[in-house]
Amino acid sequence: MLGAHRNYANQYRSTGVSAAVLEADPHRLVALMLSGARDRIRLAGACLERGDIPRKAKAISDASGLITGLSGALNLDAGGEIAQGLQSLYDYAQQRLLIANSDNDADALTEVDGLLGDIESAWLAIAPKAP
């Protein structure tokens, strides 16, 4: 019974996330990706604490995919030094996630979560004002 409820909750959550993504402007979409990556990283840390290594690996893989998307969305020509700096940070985050996964390194997960948190805070601070 609990499994069925969890499945329904996951379906609802997935539908909510899908709707948010479909309705999101580009700024909001980046915010959702940052938040999602951080959620996966924290999930990976919790799985690591519980010893659930397969789920930890999946959560890290999901976070890595979101970071790849964030990096791919950068416009290096228009963004100049800021975009190049973000690309370097995303590359570094990917390297640390690789280490976190291969070495079961909780400190690497915490570091990447903090890095993405700094980026997320700055990104949310420059949100366009609603008309």
* pTM for this predicted structure: 0.81
Domain coverage including residue 92: 26-125
User: Do 55 and 47 form a contact (C-beta atoms < 8 A)?
Assistant: yes
User: Do 108 and 96 form a contact (C-beta atoms < 8 A)?
Assistant: yes
Q: pLDDT over 70 for what percent of the chain?
A: 80
Give domain status of residue 90, yes or no.
yes
pLDDT tens for each residue of 54-111: 999 999 999 999 999 999 999 999 989 999 999 999 999 999 999 999 999 999 999 9
pLDDT at 3: 54
User: Do 33 and 70 form a contact (C-beta atoms < 8 A)?
Assistant: yes
Q: How many domains does the chain have?
A: 1
Give domain status of residue 14, yes or no.
no
Q: What element of type H or E holds 3?
A: helix 2-23
CATH assignment at residue 80: 1.20.120.340
pLDDT over threshold 50, residue 31: yes
pLDDT over threshold 60, residue 34: yes
36: Cα separation from own chain's centroid: 4
pLDDT over threshold 80, residue 47: yes
The 3 state secondary structure assigned to 38-89 is HHHHHHHHHHHHHCCHHHHHHHHHHHHHHHHHHHHCCCHHHHHHHHHHHHHH
Mean pLDDT calculated for residue range 20-41:
86
Query: Which residue, 6, 109, 18, is CA-closest to 57?
Result: 109
Give domain status of residue 8, yes or no.
no
User: Do 94 and 37 form a contact (C-beta atoms < 8 A)?
Assistant: no
Apex 80 CA angle, 76 and 83, nearest 5: 55
Give domain status of residue 39, yes or no.
yes
Give domain status of residue 12, yes or no.
no
Query: Which residue, 7, 11, 98, 104, is CA-closest to 52?
Result: 104
pLDDT over threshold 50, residue 36: yes
